[in-house]
Chains A and B, each alone.
Chain A
Amino acid sequence: MKKDIILCGVGGQGILSIATVIGEAATRAGITLKQAEVHGMSQRGGDVQSNLRLSTGTIWSDLIPRGQADLIISMEPMEALRYASCLSADAIVVTGSVPLVNIPNYPPIEQIQQSLSSLPHCVSLDIDAVAKQAGNPRGANMVLLGAASAHLGILSQAQIREAIAVVFAPKGDAVVQANLKCFDSAL
């Protein structure tokens, strides 16, 4: 069993934290994992992505071959589309719905929504609003992870919850609880 995931968004949106949580959950569950990250220049407001590969068998490449990604988890709707060509036929896209416009030529949001809805399986969610409602506006990435957790397959939602507790433990119990609340509010 394998799950190839593309995590994406804009530099600074917190996709590496999502990757860290899934990575922790996979390690605790004894699942093989490779996770290619983007560091450096792109983290300054550019497009960023992480290839996260989970498997019960051997993983060779750190990068996901084209057409084999099972799941896109995106903080931002246009960024979800950037990697659509990587998806397999029955793949799922889970994305934040609110555009982050920091370029002058950002396409009309209607076009983006239309393209997203033409994909076989797309879940689009206002993650910022949900995070705010949950009382933790900085937890939008955990809201997104909550929304995606039903589609991870190889890891259970309980395993992800456990990993959130472990990853954020150094920042104190309040941070752990705030992030768990965000995660739970999108289940």
Chain B
Amino acid sequence: MKKLLLGDEAIALGALNAGLSGVYAYPGTPSTEITEFIQKDGGAAAAKVHSRWCTNEKTAMEAALGMSYAGKRALVCMKHVGMNVCADAFVNSAITGVNGGLVVVAADDPSMHSSQNEQDSRFYAGFAMTPLFEPSTQQEAYDMVQEAFDFSEKIKLPVVIRMVTRLAHSRAAVETEVERRDQNAVNLPEGRSWVLLPAIARRNYLTLIDKQKDILKYNESSSAIECQSGVRKSALGVIACGIAYNYVKESGVDVPILKINRYPISESAVKSLADRCSRIVVVEDGQPVVEQEIRGMLGAGYRIEGRLTGILPRTGELDPDNVAAALGAAGCQNLTSSELPVAPRPPQLCPGCGHRDVYAALNKVASEYPEARIFGDIGCYTLGALPPFSAIASCVDMGASITMAKGASDAGVYPAIAVIGDSTFTHSGMTGLLDAVNENADITVILSDNLTTAMTGGQDSAGTSKFEAICRGLGVSEEHVRVVVPLPANMDNITSVIREEIEYHGVSVIIPRRECMQTLKRHKK
């Protein structure tokens, strides 16, 4: 049956049809739609497929590993930077190995459409020595997730699937099965190989090394060189990875192409392409992973070009235009060359959003303290960095607002203020708050609670209705956990609470609480 699916939805449906028992994830663009699709699927609900959001990517990875331990198939989904959060569990899951199939989807964001960096998840798979599949199309995404579950169970390792924004958020028709594979039954492993004591881990690590040749053999069987006109020899040869293959084909160049969808890459395939050509252009979205790697395979004398040599841009996503230019395929002329009256239109906080009132109040109070610094975090409220508020001094990673404010306070900055959202706080802010409490740091934390994970579209937030209890439980004294309602009418109250807590030289948490305008609209319908 043909279905029109986003790349993300193709992953989700492929996993369900492969007998998935649980998806574990924290929302993050461009990966969110995978879990949302499974949450909305009637069949998944009936079959009790786990799909509730996790607190962060690390808890997601570990829970999925637990499901795999029990013998069932589990899927973990995250945006690329989520791989940093779950890296401890992920890297060690290659040492324990898996029981039920375990597939980790990392959705990279070249061009940083909604991210802080362009890190390439292929490095993570190489680092952990796990197989990685990289689909080029929605159909491949659907097919590969099923293949990945089978291969994971065969090789007893987690398999990573790397997506990029353009594939995750692009729709195309996908041929899908009607029948779903049954879920695995619980089947507990014997022995102690899951206990990573040094003596056991050393043995497991040798097993992991030993598996590498099997992975390579598997990948080699699917590494064919294609050439439209069938010519054997050509000056130019192209290595096209994942979605880059589409741009190469769009350009219409008729040269030998080695399409790469599985990692680690086959050295013999790269060498046989090199034999047929006198230079190779590597076209890969993200960082120059393959371009670097094949240098070692082909030696210093062989001409290899790509992002490192400048034939393709060093940063940003690939597109049909920069790929065509790199391959010498002339593009079309632009219709207009003259300057048009077009101004940038950056995203902004919604009209009526509570974060607006929070920043209005913060700016008002901060103006009374010339040395004040406001440390921001990841979420809609990061937009407080832009006019008209221009309020925050930093935004680095999930939870960094509290710990950076603490470090700055340690250095002598006063007042040191953190702004963090409710979901980001439970994701990675709580542990930092405990550090601050243990040293009675002189910081003021604004925990802006809109009752949802708003930036990614309004998913449930793990700590809703628990924040006062969490803060008190971590040791913030009761009289310094203050709740306000962020509305223009309450501006006097909010500013005086902020002022009082800045004047208190210890840890205070102010919780401005009002529902997100987007979810409010939805709830009213």
A positions within 8 Å CB-CB of B: 10-11, 23-24, 27, 32-47, 59-68, 78-79, 81-82, 84-85, 87-89, 91, 102-108, 111-112, 115, 119-120
7 contacts between A and B (CB under 8 A): A39-B457, A66-B321, A68-B332, A78-B343, A85-B334, A85-B335, A111-B341
Chain B residues, CB < 8 A from A64:
320
Asked if B345 contacts A102 (CB within 8 A), the reply is yes
A41-B347, A44-B350, A84-B336 given; 13 more Cβ-contact pairs under 8 Å: A23-B171, A35-B170, A35-B172, A38-B113, A40-B114, A44-B347, A44-B383, A45-B345, A65-B321, A65-B331, A66-B320, A84-B335, A105-B343
Q: Cα distance A149–B509 when bound, in Å?
A: 55
Chain B residues, CB < 8 A from A43:
347
Asked if B320 contacts A61 (CB within 8 A), the reply is yes
Asked if B336 contacts A33 (CB within 8 A), the reply is no
Q: Cα distance A84–B343 when bound, in Å?
A: 14
Chain B residues, CB < 8 A from A88:
332, 335
Asked if A36 contacts B170 (CB within 8 A), the reply is yes
Check B243 for interface membership: any CB of A closer than 8 A: yes
Contact digits for B333-352, partner A, Cβ 8 Å, 1 yes 0 no: 11111001111111111100
Chain A residues, CB < 8 A from B336:
84-85, 87, 119
Q: Cα distance A102–B114 when bound, in Å?
A: 21
| Chain B 231-288 residues near chain A, CB threshold 8 A | 243, 246-247, 249-250
Asked if A107 contacts B342 (CB within 8 A), the reply is yes
B107 to chain A, nearest CB (A): 11
| Chain B 314-368 residues near chain A, CB threshold 8 A | 319-321, 324, 331-337, 340-350
Asked if A107 contacts B341 (CB within 8 A), the reply is yes
Q: Cα distance A86–B167 when bound, in Å?
A: 21
Q: Cα distance A59–B170 when bound, in Å?
A: 13
B351 to chain A, nearest CB (A): 8
Q: Cα distance A30–B142 when bound, in Å?
A: 20
Asked if B320 contacts A63 (CB within 8 A), the reply is yes
Chain B residues, CB < 8 A from A108:
341
Residue of B nearest to A84 (CB): B336
Asked if A84 contacts B340 (CB within 8 A), the reply is yes
Chain B residues, CB < 8 A from A33:
4, 171-173
| Chain B 398-448 residues near chain A, CB threshold 8 A | none
Majority DSSP secondary structure for residues of B touching A: loop
Check B6 for interface membership: any CB of A closer than 8 A: yes
Check B380 for interface membership: any CB of A closer than 8 A: yes
A156 to chain B, nearest CB (A): 19
Q: Cα distance A38–B455 when bound, in Å?
A: 14
Check B183 for interface membership: any CB of A closer than 8 A: no
Chain A residues, CB < 8 A from B29:
39-41
Residue of B nearest to A120 (CB): B335
B positions within 8 Å CB-CB of A: 2, 4, 6, 29-30, 32-33, 113-114, 166-167, 169-173, 243, 246-247, 249-250, 319-321, 324, 331-337, 340-350, 380, 383, 387, 455-457
B119 to chain A, nearest CB (A): 17
Asked if A81 contacts B250 (CB within 8 A), the reply is no
Chain B residues, CB < 8 A from A119:
335-336
A2 to chain B, nearest CB (A): 12
Q: Say which residue of A65, A102, A104, A111 sits within 8 Å of B324 (CB atoms).
A: A65
Q: Cα distance A110–B74 when bound, in Å?
A: 57
Residue of A nearest to B2 (CB): A27
B450 to chain A, nearest CB (A): 13
A138 to chain B, nearest CB (A): 12
Chain B residues, CB < 8 A from A40:
29-30, 113-114, 455-456
B315 to chain A, nearest CB (A): 17
Known: A38-B169, A41-B347, A46-B347. A66 touches B456 (CB 8 A): no
Q: Cα distance A90–B92 when bound, in Å?
A: 57
Q: Say which residue of B113, B350, B455 sits within 8 Å of A45 (CB atoms).
A: B350
Residue of A nearest to B383 (CB): A44
Residue of A nearest to B347 (CB): A46
B254 to chain A, nearest CB (A): 14
Chain B residues, CB < 8 A from A24:
4
Residue in B171, B319, B332, B346 with the greatest tally of chain A CB atoms within 10 Å: B171
Residue of B nearest to A52 (CB): B171
Q: Cα distance A34–B383 when bound, in Å?
A: 31
Chain B residues, CB < 8 A from A10:
345
Asked if B319 contacts A63 (CB within 8 A), the reply is yes
Chain B residues, CB < 8 A from A62:
166-167, 170, 172, 243, 246
Asked if A42 contacts B347 (CB within 8 A), the reply is yes
Q: Cα distance A85–B340 when bound, in Å?
A: 10
Residue of A nearest to B380 (CB): A44
Asked if A82 contacts B335 (CB within 8 A), the reply is no
Q: Cα distance A49–B324 when bound, in Å?
A: 22
Known: A44-B349, A107-B341. A67 touches B170 (CB 8 A): no
Chain B residues, CB < 8 A from A32:
173
Which 9 residue pairs are nearest across A and B when measured between Cβ atoms? A67-B332, A46-B347, A40-B29, A40-B114, A107-B341, A61-B250, A44-B347, A65-B320, A62-B170
Q: Say which residue of A59, A81, A120 sits within 8 Å of B342 (CB atoms).
A: A81
